[in-house]
Chains A and B, each alone.
Chain A
């Protein structure tokens, strides 16, 4: 079946199988920044923004996002560039598998809470697991980024 939606600012009509999840649709269409890390909706590496809200793409049917606006990191280049600078400065990136989803969630946070505290950040990102960094360096980088780029 055909589903129409906006992906990274571009209107797309995609052929999808019934029951197909958004994660698979995006990866099948070569949007490979979106990763799969689990089969229980609990790791967050598949996060995309649907109408500016973080959503687990592994758990939402593609048909359900018809007509909506989907953002992946490919659609927010400038913000990712800025955040990546802060992350690099803090040594907060390791394997990078969690990072596209993290960047998207931070982008959504920035829109929801323009001046977040460290605690806001920790709570907002709770669903974005990272096994490499121990989290603190990420939080410092994100806090600085959002303070200095507000």
Chain B
């Protein structure tokens, strides 16, 4: 039976559409205490005095916790492997508050209403401090976000809190200045990217209880259950063995649930009161008090010769991590490491910069993870260079971009916070992606502009992108297969399904190896007591890393059952043939059902369990070409997207429909970032767009058509040839759309989002110049 590379429906879609209780807050214990947080109304302040007497006097208010109630252990909420590349600059509660929405106190009460009342009754006296609200003015600003003692970096990341620097980095291949001086043409441009909100449909939620053994059991909407367990243990000083973290179905994450959110608070409440507790973030809290994407400034310089040979790339990045340095270094590094190798033939490349603290909502992991920001800057700058040279953007890319069998020195130099891993591109169908993309969008007929009607100008634009597949030598995934009587299997994986369909594709991999049906594999994922270790759903690691672990476990299980069948027939295992259902040796046969019933009830009794684990030795990048066909209305500045073409090389698609879903969801999220989404702050440091009403996202009418195809590609090191596909889709829209707008109307917008207003203003300025 063939299951890999077939369009099998997801294993959970039907049940979830039926509304079966499966998400965190569906699984709350009745009579749980409601936990809520008092949040700072100020962007920067010190708590001089906090008095909860009145709140505690309310009948039904169980507990109020302030910074005096927690051990002073600094940690990071980032939800990464240990030791983390993010600075330990956070305390569960602190005497300082560093952004509007930062945590001041924690209340537990019988009802939501009582909680709200109690929050109002807590009396706090703040000493207001000057906020740092402009990340370009943050370094060496007299106002310092983290003056406190007890914070640290886990290894050198360029952490200089007294200068408002969370991390910094510098690398250079060759001598950029010397190389640029030799180039016939040099273009320079600065690009800005904004804070995008994840806006997953399920708000962050978590609940806790003590089980019958007195252990703390959390159900959490998280991408990283084992990291949550470790960080809780380290910070609240609860032995790791006394904590169980269960991830139920998760209503979207996109990186926003990689970090810890309410876990510390429900744990503290349940440990103290011995009662179950629950926390569900309001949408306002999701906006103000979780994460956004890191806003960045890129100062780009590209140098080339007139014949279209790209010779040097220089890239300085300033990144805004907000109040805490979660993912500060790594997101910033990915803006270089998963972008710059696209043009691997340059003689010299430099990537350097700083990540600053500001009094904004912290930034964190978000699908694309720096690559989308870097891609906007590099792929916009490339088009600018191409136009300066008077060349064709397709031909220029085809000449200078990464090809199969090639490499880039950047892979060895830049990793996630540490050194990287050298690798050659054993699978890279980028050329095919570009060629197929221009066919699908009819580039030759449409480039740069096609007919215009009245005020409407139609144009096409494109960008290429790459991502990674897991973090080599760091992120480990493991899987366990258990054979049951009657011959079906449990597949237990630490990998974290957050809606991307990993339970389904991992079962497909197991089913393919064991040649059984999907119904014969029962998947259970992400329960720290029951499933093996896995770092979690991030860094595009699940298909490649966890998939390889499943592949290994399934191979081992296959060998085991064949050995058992050989034992039955008293023959050598090599003499056994197995088709997933029946073992045969000559004329003798036994089915998997018979074999397993024999193993558990009758003879040679034993439990068969196989575990596989995998840690990558490289991170094979998926590649793609993104091309867009759009209209710009020169009177209103409005952009309308007719067609967005994606041609993706992610190796084998384990499930082509689910892979397409990953790409299309990411494309539309990327289009949102390009055209509308913007979490902006008022002059006083308050988030303006803090509801789904104010925060503009793509709707069902935003794009006429998505055209998505996959290149025929096979990555030898991946399970059945697969690479990752979760993030790559988000990277191209900003540059492809910016390039198409330039092609349509001749203005280049260098800051995201590209609003109608920015286009109109640019057109007006251009009109005045000419």
- A residues apposed to B, CB below 8 Å: 31-43, 45, 72-74, 77, 80-81, 83-85, 87-100, 102-103, 122-123, 125-126, 129-137, 139
B283 pairs with A39, CB closer than 8 A: yes
Question: What's the Cα separation between A95 and B22 when bound, in Å?
Answer: 11
List A contacts of B23 (CB < 8 A).
35, 97
Instruction: Report if B201 contacts A (CB, 8 A).
Output: yes
Could you say which of B120-128, B658-666, B753-761 contacts chain A? B658-666
List A contacts of B691 (CB < 8 A).
38-40, 42
A91 pairs with B18, CB closer than 8 A: no
Quick one: which of A34, A73, A131, A139 contacts B17, CB cutoff 8 A?
Answer: A73
Determine the residue in chain A with the shortest Cβ distance to B249. A96
B202 pairs with A37, CB closer than 8 A: yes
List A contacts of B14 (CB < 8 A).
81, 84-85, 88
Query: Closest Cβ of chain A: how far from B114's Cβ, in Å?
Result: 13
Query: B interface, how many residues as a size bin?
Result: 35 or more
Instruction: Report if B668 contacts A (CB, 8 A).
Output: yes
Which residues in window 667-726 of B have CB below 8 A to A?
Answer: 667-669, 691-694, 697-701, 703, 705-706
A99 pairs with B658, CB closer than 8 A: no
B661 pairs with A91, CB closer than 8 A: yes
A97 pairs with B692, CB closer than 8 A: no
- What are 22 pairs between A and B in contact, CB < 8 Å? A35-B201, A40-B692, A73-B17, A73-B18, A87-B13, A88-B9, A91-B656, A91-B660, A93-B9, A94-B10, A95-B252, A96-B249, A97-B23, A100-B16, A126-B700, A131-B198, A133-B661, A134-B664, A134-B667, A135-B700, A135-B703, A136-B706
Determine the residue in chain B with the shortest Cβ distance to A89. B9
Query: Closest Cβ of chain A: how far from B186's Cβ, in Å?
Result: 38
Which residues in window 1-28 of B have CB below 8 A to A?
Answer: 7, 9-10, 12-14, 16-23, 26
Instruction: Report if B32 contacts A (CB, 8 A).
Output: no
List A contacts of B668 (CB < 8 A).
134-135
Question: What's the Cα separation between A128 and B280 when bound, in Å?
Answer: 21
Question: What's the Cα separation between A129 and B669 when bound, in Å?
Answer: 12
Question: What's the Cα separation between A12 and B419 when bound, in Å?
Answer: 64
Query: Closest Cβ of chain A: how far from B721's Cβ, in Å?
Result: 20
Instruction: Report if B81 contacts A (CB, 8 A).
Output: no
Instruction: Report if B540 contacts A (CB, 8 A).
Output: no
B665 pairs with A132, CB closer than 8 A: yes
Query: Closest Cβ of chain B: how far from A117's Cβ, in Å?
Result: 13
Question: What's the Cα separation between A28 and B667 when bound, in Å?
Answer: 37
A89 pairs with B661, CB closer than 8 A: no
Instruction: Report if B41 contacts A (CB, 8 A).
Output: no
Query: Closest Cβ of chain A: how far from B664's Cβ, in Å?
Result: 4
Nearest 7 pairs between A and B by C-beta? Answer: A33-B19, A95-B499, A88-B9, A91-B657, A96-B16, A97-B251, A93-B13
Determine the residue in chain A with the shortest Cβ distance to B707. A136
List B contacts of A37 (CB < 8 A).
201-203, 251, 283, 692
Determine the residue in chain A with the shortest Cβ distance to B253. A95
Given the interface pairs A36-B203, A37-B203, A93-B16, the reply to whether A136 lies near B664 with Cβ below 8 Å is: yes
Query: Closest Cβ of chain B: how far from A104's Cβ, in Å?
Result: 10
B10 pairs with A91, CB closer than 8 A: yes
Given the interface pairs A42-B693, A126-B701, A131-B669, the reply to whether A77 lies near B18 with Cβ below 8 Å is: yes
Instruction: Report if B371 contacts A (CB, 8 A).
Output: no
Determine the residue in chain A with the shortest Cβ distance to B660. A91
Q: A40-B693, A95-B250 are in contact. List 7 more A-B contacts (CB 8 A).
A: A39-B283, A43-B201, A91-B501, A91-B658, A102-B17, A126-B700, A134-B706
Determine the residue in chain A with the shortest Cβ distance to B285. A39
List A contacts of B661 (CB < 8 A).
91-92, 94, 132-134, 137
Instruction: Report if B254 contacts A (CB, 8 A).
Output: yes
- Give the most central of A37, A98, A103: most B CB within 10 Å: A37
Instruction: Report if B284 contacts A (CB, 8 A).
Output: yes
Which residues in window 184-205 of B have CB below 8 A to A?
Answer: 198-203
List B contacts of A91 (CB < 8 A).
7, 9-10, 501, 655-658, 660-661
Query: Closest Cβ of chain A: how far from B346's Cβ, in Å?
Result: 34
Query: Closest Cβ of chain A: how far from B655's Cβ, in Å?
Result: 7
B19 pairs with A95, CB closer than 8 A: no
Query: Closest Cβ of chain B: how far from A144's Cβ, in Å?
Result: 14
Question: What's the Cα separation between A87 and B705 when bound, in Å?
Answer: 18
Instruction: Report if B455 contacts A (CB, 8 A).
Output: no
A96 pairs with B499, CB closer than 8 A: yes
B19 pairs with A100, CB closer than 8 A: yes
A129 pairs with B697, CB closer than 8 A: yes
A95 pairs with B200, CB closer than 8 A: yes
Determine the residue in chain B with the shortest Cβ distance to A74. B19
Question: What's the Cα separation between A103 and B348 when bound, in Å?
Answer: 55
Quick one: which of A72, A92, A132, A139 contacts B19, CB cutoff 8 A?
Answer: A72
List A contacts of B658 (CB < 8 A).
91
Question: What's the Cα separation between A76 and B57 when bound, in Å?
Answer: 47
Given the interface pairs A38-B283, A135-B668, the reply to whether A95 lies near B249 with Cβ below 8 Å is: yes
List A contacts of B19 (CB < 8 A).
31-34, 72-74, 100
Question: What's the Cα separation between A122 and B700 when bound, in Å?
Answer: 6
Given the interface pairs A91-B657, A126-B699, the reply to whether A43 lies near B692 with Cβ below 8 Å is: yes
- Give the most central of A41, A43, A132, A139: most B CB within 10 Å: A132
Instruction: Report if B290 contacts A (CB, 8 A).
Output: no
Question: What's the Cα separation between A91 and B701 when bound, in Å?
Answer: 20
Question: What's the Cα separation between A74 and B14 when bound, in Å?
Answer: 13
List A contacts of B499 (CB < 8 A).
94-97, 132
Given the interface pairs A91-B660, A129-B201, A131-B199, the reply to whether A139 lies near B284 with Cβ below 8 Å is: no
B7 pairs with A83, CB closer than 8 A: no
Quick one: which of B282, B665, B692, B694 contacts A94, CB cutoff 8 A?
Answer: B665
Query: Closest Cβ of chain B: how far from A82's Cβ, in Å?
Result: 10
Instruction: Report if B260 contacts A (CB, 8 A).
Output: no
List A contacts of B249 (CB < 8 A).
95-96
Instruction: Report if B498 contacts A (CB, 8 A).
Output: yes
Instruction: Report if B500 contacts A (CB, 8 A).
Output: yes
Question: What's the Cα separation between A123 and B751 when bound, in Å?
Answer: 31
Question: What's the Cα separation between A98 and B16 when bound, in Å?
Answer: 9
A131 pairs with B254, CB closer than 8 A: yes
Question: What's the Cα separation between A7 and B251 when bound, in Å?
Answer: 26
List A contacts of B706 (CB < 8 A).
134, 136
Determine the residue in chain A with the shortest Cβ distance to B200. A131
A93 pairs with B203, CB closer than 8 A: no
List B contacts of A40 (CB < 8 A).
283, 691-694
Query: Closest Cβ of chain B: how far from A95's Cβ, in Å?
Result: 3
Determine the residue in chain B with the shortest Cβ distance to A139. B700
A131 pairs with B18, CB closer than 8 A: no
Query: Closest Cβ of chain B: how far from A2's Cβ, in Å?
Result: 20
List B contacts of A87 (CB < 8 A).
9, 13, 17
List A contacts of B202 (CB < 8 A).
35, 37, 95, 97
A94 pairs with B500, CB closer than 8 A: yes
Determine the residue in chain B with the shortest Cβ distance to A92. B661
List A contacts of B9 (CB < 8 A).
85, 87-89, 91, 93
B201 pairs with A98, CB closer than 8 A: yes
Question: What's the Cα separation between A39 and B657 when bound, in Å?
Answer: 33
Which residues in window 250-305 of B have CB below 8 A to A?
Answer: 250-252, 254, 280, 282-284
A93 pairs with B252, CB closer than 8 A: no
Question: What's the Cα separation between A55 and B408 when bound, in Å?
Answer: 55
Question: What's the Cα separation between A98 and B19 when bound, in Å?
Answer: 10
List A contacts of B656 (CB < 8 A).
91
A45 pairs with B21, CB closer than 8 A: no
Given the interface pairs A40-B693, A126-B700, the reply to whether A131 lies near B201 with Cβ below 8 Å is: yes
